[in-house]
């Protein structure tokens, strides 16, 4: 008897082929881990992780068009005191949470 397990050669070949496919699949799964922890990775499907990664790469970066505060105010990104209108309530002129007078976004002293 050539094979000790008693299976026919065609079954053994199919098993070998399926193991080979599984190996490649495992390697391709590892591409899309990003910053996920292993538990999340196991609970989410390959398809949804792939879509998440593609969307993340296609989404435009949040980068200001210019560093000039005056032109940013004209574009409507900053208000007249230098605070961002959308996003974090941070002052672009003083680089802190208060403006030049020491007042925060809501006009309260900090």
pLDDT in tens, the chain (110 residues): 456 777 788 888 888 877 777 666 555 555 555 666 777 777 778 788 888 888 888 887 778 889 999 999 999 999 999 999 988 899 999 999 999 999 999 999 98
| Residue 3 maps to a domain | no
Q: Are residues 52 and 73 in the same domain?
A: no
Contact between residue 101 and residue 95 where contact means Cβ atoms under 8 Å apart: no
Say yes or no: 39 and 19 in one domain.
yes
Task: Give the chain's largest Cα–Cα span.
Answer: 92
Please state, in angstroms and rounded to a whole number, the distance separating the CA atoms of residues 68 and 81.
14
Q: Confirm if 77 and 71 have CB atoms less than 8 A apart.
A: no
| 54 shares its domain with 66 | no
pTM score over 0.95: no
The Cα 34–Cα 49 span in angstroms is: 9
Contacts 24+ apart (CB under 8 A), 91-98: 93/69
Number of domains in the chain: 2
Do 109 and 77 share a structural domain?
yes
Residue 90 and residue 50 share a domain: no
Q: Does residue 28 belong to any structural domain of this protein?
A: yes
**105: domain range?**
62-110
């Amino acid at each position: 008897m050539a094979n000790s397990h008693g299976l026919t050669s065609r079954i053994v070949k199919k098993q070998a082929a399926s193991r080979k496919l599984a190996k490649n699949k495992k390697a391709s799964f590892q591409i899309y881990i990003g910053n996920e922890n292993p538990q999340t990775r196991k609970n989410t499907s390959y398809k949804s992780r792939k879509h998440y990664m593609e969307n993340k790469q296609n989404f435009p970066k949040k980068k200001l068009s210019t560093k000039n505060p005056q032109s940013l105010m004209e574009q409507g990104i900053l208000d007249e005191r230098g605070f961002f209108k959308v996003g974090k309530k941070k002052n672009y002129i003083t680089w802190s949470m208060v403006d030049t007078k020491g007042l925060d976004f809501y006009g309260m002293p900090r």
